[in-house]
Structure 1
Amino acid sequence: MKNPHTWRYVTVQIMLVVFGFSILAQIIRIQHSAEAKAILDKDPGGGVETFYPARGEIFDLKGHLLAGNKIVYEVGVDLQVLEENEYANANTIALAASVYLDLDYATVLNWITQPPEDRRYVVLDNFASPDEEKALMDLQELAKDKPRDQTLEGLNSTPHLVRTYPEGSLAANIIGFVTQEGVGYFGVEEKYNSLLAGVPVKVWVSADPNRAEELPNIPPGATLILTLDREVQASVEEILDAAVLDTGAASGTVVVMDPKTGEILALAVTPHMNLNEYWRFKEIFPGETPFDRAISQAYEPGSVYKILTMAAALDKGVVKPEDTYFDSGIILIGGVAIRNWNNTVWGQQNMIGCLQHSINACLVYVAELLGNDSFYSYMQKFGIGHTTGIDLAGETTGHLKLPGDSDWYQVDLGTNAFGQGVSVTPIQMVMAASAIANDGKMVYPHMVHAMVQDGRQQNISPQVAGTPISAATAHTLNDMLAISLEKESSNSLVPGYRIAGKTGTAQIPTPYGVYDNSATNASFVGWGPVDDPKFLVYVWLEKPQTSIWGSEVAAPVFKQVVEKLVVLMGIPPDSIRLQTTRP
């Protein structure tokens, strides 16, 4: 049976074809119209050119410029002019370029006297400074009445913008860099490349210099206002650089985030580079060295991960803070014996003691109470094994094996419980920990606070990534972690401020499937003030040499960072702050 609506479809198709041909005919008519001919006759040397907008600037939260633009000059030679002069002044141009542009005289002379057959213009320097360009143009003006072999006729300069980074290496791993081609690499420069670059415009450009005022006014790319505070960033970088040097660590990472909004206040990693010398990238980051370890290098975090295991168990109701566990120093799971760090034995402990002494066997026991399904369900709710979605280029996922995977064994439940056999990035741990610091609500970390385009500012609103645990569980665990640090007299404690946190020391797996007993990853995660967290700090030192323990090398770094934060963020000591907030 024929479709009764077929005639309608055919009619629409015919109308669309006719409409398309009418547009094509109109284009041809305009191109061959008297008006178009008049324009071409009046300006035969004109043509269509592409104009690129100024790249958008990048500021910190308080308005300090982190990435901007500066004018440089393309200095070149019009070979047609030289040819008309029979190359009489080629030596003069080569000499001037060698003096003012620091170019080799013989090389320049060869460029302009023996160019390829189809070359009509030779660029001598694409990035001459304003001072260099002015000196050359002043010299050209002075020499214009000299004999033609002493002039600089044919030497031209054209201004254009290039990226500049006033702070040099500050926040380099966050910002990224832009190459001579105008393409952003790494950080926000790559993540927001299209917005920053703006929209190029193609227009007809007259060959008549008197009509220059007709050139379009192209709006610049979007301006970005980052969440980071320049002073906080500089202080954290200074502390981290000193820690890496003092401990002999292979690298270091510190992330500071507002646990309620997800705004990154500082993100420091080593190594870092002067962004104005981006061509040294491969020298500073050889091989597969990540540009930003906080988002691009997954590692086994060790005992800092225990906060997630304990959070899941408390939330599920399988343990309470006062529940006890008798530790013999060893526990069997999946037919494999797991021991405590340093082969210690702690005897009878409650759950706070298990965290305070970082008892591996106890956390294995807790994970077994949870069971496979619940444990891994909670880990996935915490975002483990997935990217956070942070607005920086190059984030990697880490790895969480799950029951049913070909490489998962029952012993993995035990090792995962204390942060071994599972890999995360520092930013993943920061996001997961935010749930504990923020009443059970886990927030997405982000780097951009606002965008400014066409005179309008659009602020980025905080977003909750999920609620893996209840507010009650978060409050309970906060108190447990604070008590465990206080009982331990931890190196992380800051006088006047109550802090919650956990150390981590993890063995490093080798390519041969075994762990290196001589090298560790030392970490610390913490936040405060406990009753109203304003900051969450994550510290990771890779392969420290002075001590393998996170409590001895990472915890002191956390303390130094927090001591700076409370001053720069204007956070009064608890005794004063709580007194002023009471009715």
Structure 2
Amino acid sequence: MNQDYSSRYILLGTFFTVLAALILGQHVSLLLDPQRGEILEEVRASHLGSVWTIHPPRGLIFDRKGQLLAGNEMVYEVGVDYRAIDDANDAHTIALTSNVYFGLDYYKVKVTVENPPHPQQVYLPLAKGIEKEKVDHLQNFLEITDADSRVERTEKARLAAHLRGLILQPYMKRVYPEPLLASNVLGFVGYNQQALPLGYFGVEARYNEMLAGTPVKLWVPNDPRMVQDFPPIPEGASLILTIDRELQAAVEKILEENIHKTKSETGVIIVLDPKTGEVWAMASYPRLDISRYWDYEALSEKGQFVFNRAISAMYEPGSVFKVLTMASAFDKGVVTEDTTYLDKGAIEVGGLVIYNWDRAGHGKQTMQGCMQLSLNVCLAWVATQLGAADFYTYLQAFGIGHTTGIDLDGERAGILKLPEDQLWSESEIGTNSFGQGVSATPIQMAAAISALANDGKIMRPHIVRGIIKDGEQFMITPSVSSIPISAKTAHTLTEMLARSLEAEASEALVDGYRVAGKTGTGEIAIPGAGYISGETNASFAGWGPVDDPRFVVYIWLEKPKTSIWGSEVAAPIFPKVVEQITLIMNIPPDRYRKATR
């Protein structure tokens, strides 16, 4: 008997000795292997609390004068915590409360609460974007006050018990005070597949990481007595745009009025400062109400909606392109103001016969006459004098065929075929000279033509003027994108185009300001089917004041019905826009400005 007990004691002793050795070995292993130690710490911590990812408030967006264009407001996500549903009346109370206070469908909520999607489902959102006022209304109703009777207190306590499974989670929602204003520039904030906010289009997409800030991970204990105040979380950077809110609103109104007046399908107006590249206004029609950003998908499926036509819509600009052709030839020295051309109404280039817009010949013309009468034949001849190599070198220097680099999401590069391309033919130099067979975006054309208003230099167009981060403001330094022509060429072409407008008594003339400009009427191409008869792209590019240009305006109307000519539908818009520019941006008339020099 004693021997049996001794054997058992020895066996037990051996077991505990081995167990102690294993525990000691595991402890040593954890000390020597930090990774395993971290895993154990994570397991321990998971029982005491959980790690939360806190997203900082998104940065704000202001116009150049400090007016708010995009901000945030506190809203709530309403959801159900299935762990707290333990009474048959809970589903009814939650559904009824959600219907009365939040406008949710009673039966849908009740069925959702009673039937979780999965047996292990812990939480399920019911609705997002519930206004704070509605949540406050409910919380005020449930709050027990000294004025409540005993019956009222009992009833509120009963309701609160049945509503334990109703979770009201606050979060910051992106809001736009004027959801149509500059919507094409701003873009919008939607949600990705992980239900996290994400910028789409415009500056919201281009500067998404900067605006969103850096998420912070925090460990939050399950025991409320251990909860401490969250440390301050830096919010995302805020942006100051080059856009002027008042000018943007005025230009959008002018564009929309003239879209309806001319019965055009779409349109764009861009206003930029040629000396800095700052975009003061960028209107695109039609535009999206970004407070209803979810409508974009349905609109885009129709195949006609482009979020920002100013940077994403490519088209053949037509005769407004002649400015670039003539500037290139002047800069190279193949033509001068004294050069004349005998216009017979037709010219053959690379086997293709090119005609003037009116199919007529206009006799002997100077280069100013060629521009004033917008003669396709003359410009095709000018391009041949320049030669293919130099012609396309200049066009690329003007930015045709590649993006401008504007800080907006979604810019397209246009299409410019070069002599080394397989599909290029010699006739292209003739048609490209007057803006056919080449496609560009409005911002490309505005930037290219701005060289004539800025001593031959193209400043990179940009939308963000400054960035506010961690309490400090950083201003964006304007940068030169390209110098395609000399200052002398820019001044010569500007004067030539100012005289042209004055000689023809153009509807683009502006009282009190001497301006330069060129109209454009381009046929609309259908890939593989030639050009549409009777439908055009009507454009006008203008700048001024001539002696010291402060603004460039680019106007494009697609498929106007009242007239196909840019001189009749696009040019008359220019003085309306300039009137707003000079008033809002404080540019005095020529006589007053020159008198104060």
Determine if the TM-score, normalized by the shorter chain, exceeds 0.5.
Answer: yes
Do 2:143 and 2:156's aligned partners in 1 also have CA atoms closer than 8 Å? no
What's the counterpart of residue 326 of structure 2?
310
Secondary structure in 2 aligned to 1:77?
strand
Q: How many equivalent pairs are there?
A: 554
- Tell me the alpha carbon deviations over residues 125-160 of structure 1, each in whole angstroms, 9 at most, x when there is no partner: 222111111122233335762288654431231211
In 1, the alpha carbon distance for the partners of 2:589 and 2:229 equals: 62
The aligned runs of 1:253-292 (5 Å cut-off) are: 253-285=268-300, 286-287=302-303, 289-292=305-308
Q: Are positions 1:141 and 2:143 aligned together?
A: yes
When residues 47 and 475 of structure 1 are mapped into structure 2, their CA distance, relative to the original with a 3 A threshold, is: same
In 1, the alpha carbon distance for the partners of 2:526 and 2:104 equals: 50
Q: Are positions 1:69 and 2:79 aligned together?
A: no
In 1, the alpha carbon distance for the partners of 2:35 and 2:461 equals: 50
In 2, the alpha carbon distance for the partners of 1:22 and 1:384 equals: 64
When residues 467 and 202 of structure 1 are mapped into structure 2, their CA distance, relative to the original with a 3 A threshold, is: same
Amino acid at match of 1:263: E
In 2, the alpha carbon distance for the partners of 1:448 and 1:24 equals: 53
Identity of aligned residues (%): 50
Q: Aligned match of 1:214 in 229, 232, 239?
A: 229
In 1, the alpha carbon distance for the partners of 2:526 and 2:38 equals: 70
What's the counterpart of residue 132 of structure 1?
134
Amino acid at match of 1:82: I
The aligned runs of 1:472-551 (5 Å cut-off) are: 472-551=488-567
The aligned runs of 1:182-581 (5 Å cut-off) are: 182-285=197-300, 286-287=302-303, 289-581=305-597
In 2, the alpha carbon distance for the partners of 1:211 and 1:390 equals: 50
In 2, the alpha carbon distance for the partners of 1:541 and 1:548 equals: 10
Q: Aligned match of 2:177 in 138, 156, 166?
A: 166
In 2, the alpha carbon distance for the partners of 1:553 and 1:318 equals: 34
Secondary structure in 1 aligned to 2:64?
coil
Q: Are positions 1:46 and 2:49 aligned together?
A: yes
- Tell me the alpha carbon deviations over residues 6-63 of structure 1, each in whole angstroms, 9 at most, x when there is no partner: xxxxxxxxxxxxxxx9998345557768xx99x95xx943111111111111110001
When residues 24 and 76 of structure 1 are mapped into structure 2, their CA distance, relative to the original with a 3 A threshold, is: farther
Once the two structures are overlaid, the 10-residue window that deviates more, 495-504 or 93-102, is 93-102
In 1, the alpha carbon distance for the partners of 2:567 and 2:339 equals: 25
Do 1:77 and 1:122's aligned partners in 2 also have CA atoms closer than 8 Å? yes
The aligned runs of 1:85-124 (5 Å cut-off) are: 86-115=87-116, 116-124=118-126
Secondary structure in 1 aligned to 2:495?
helix
Amino acid at match of 1:241: E
Q: Aligned match of 1:153 in 155, 163, 188?
A: 163
Amino acid at match of 1:111: T
Do 2:30 and 2:36's aligned partners in 1 also have CA atoms closer than 8 Å? no
When residues 319 and 519 of structure 1 are mapped into structure 2, their CA distance, relative to the original with a 3 A threshold, is: same
In 2, the alpha carbon distance for the partners of 1:229 and 1:212 equals: 46
TM-superposed CA distance for 1:168, in Å, is 1.3
In 2, the alpha carbon distance for the partners of 1:346 and 1:322 equals: 17
TM-superposed CA distance for 1:324, in Å, is 1.2
Mind listing any 5+ residue stretches in structure 1 that lack a counterpart? Answer: 1-20
When residues 25 and 114 of structure 1 are mapped into structure 2, their CA distance, relative to the original with a 3 A threshold, is: same
- Tell me the alpha carbon deviations over residues 532-564 of structure 1, each in whole angstroms, 9 at most, x when there is no partner: 111100000000000000000000111210111
Mind listing any 5+ residue stretches in structure 2 that lack a counterpart? Answer: 1-28, 145-151
In 1, the alpha carbon distance for the partners of 2:443 and 2:400 equals: 11
Amino acid at match of 1:335: G
TM-superposed CA distance for 1:568, in Å, is 0.8
Amino acid at match of 1:525: A
When residues 24 and 548 of structure 1 are mapped into structure 2, their CA distance, relative to the original with a 3 A threshold, is: farther
TM-superposed CA distance for 1:351, in Å, is 0.7
Do 1:88 and 1:148's aligned partners in 2 also have CA atoms closer than 8 Å? no
When residues 205 and 24 of structure 1 are mapped into structure 2, their CA distance, relative to the original with a 3 A threshold, is: farther
Do 1:330 and 1:337's aligned partners in 2 also have CA atoms closer than 8 Å? yes
Secondary structure in 1 aligned to 2:543?
strand
Query: In terms of Rg, which structure is larger?
Result: 2
When residues 76 and 423 of structure 1 are mapped into structure 2, their CA distance, relative to the original with a 3 A threshold, is: same
TM-superposed CA distance for 1:272, in Å, is 0.8
In 1, the alpha carbon distance for the partners of 2:487 and 2:550 equals: 17
TM-superposed CA distance for 1:92, in Å, is 2.0
In 1, the alpha carbon distance for the partners of 2:380 and 2:65 equals: 46
Do 1:236 and 1:266's aligned partners in 2 also have CA atoms closer than 8 Å? yes
Do 2:317 and 2:537's aligned partners in 1 also have CA atoms closer than 8 Å? yes
Amino acid at match of 2:274: P
In 2, the alpha carbon distance for the partners of 1:254 and 1:569 equals: 17
When residues 453 and 482 of structure 1 are mapped into structure 2, their CA distance, relative to the original with a 3 A threshold, is: same
TM-superposed CA distance for 1:106, in Å, is 1.1
What's the counterpart of residue 7 of structure 1?
none
RMSD between aligned residues: 2.0
In 2, the alpha carbon distance for the partners of 1:560 and 1:95 equals: 56
Secondary structure in 2 aligned to 1:48?
strand
Amino acid at match of 1:350: T
In 1, the alpha carbon distance for the partners of 2:474 and 2:206 equals: 17
In 1, the alpha carbon distance for the partners of 2:436 and 2:156 equals: 80
TM-superposed CA distance for 1:339, in Å, is 0.6
Do 1:452 and 1:458's aligned partners in 2 also have CA atoms closer than 8 Å? yes
Do 1:329 and 1:344's aligned partners in 2 also have CA atoms closer than 8 Å? yes
In 1, the alpha carbon distance for the partners of 2:156 and 2:281 equals: 61
TM-superposed CA distance for 1:212, in Å, is 4.0
TM-superposed CA distance for 1:187, in Å, is 0.4
Q: Which TM-score applies when normalising by structure 1?
A: 0.91
What's the counterpart of residue 80 of structure 1?
83
- Tell me the alpha carbon deviations over residues 237-272 of structure 1, each in whole angstroms, 9 at most, x when there is no partner: 000000101101010000110001000000000111
Secondary structure in 1 aligned to 2:76?
strand
Do 1:82 and 1:88's aligned partners in 2 also have CA atoms closer than 8 Å? no
When residues 215 and 334 of structure 1 are mapped into structure 2, their CA distance, relative to the original with a 3 A threshold, is: same
Once the two structures are overlaid, the 10-residue window that deviates more, 115-124 or 538-547, is 115-124
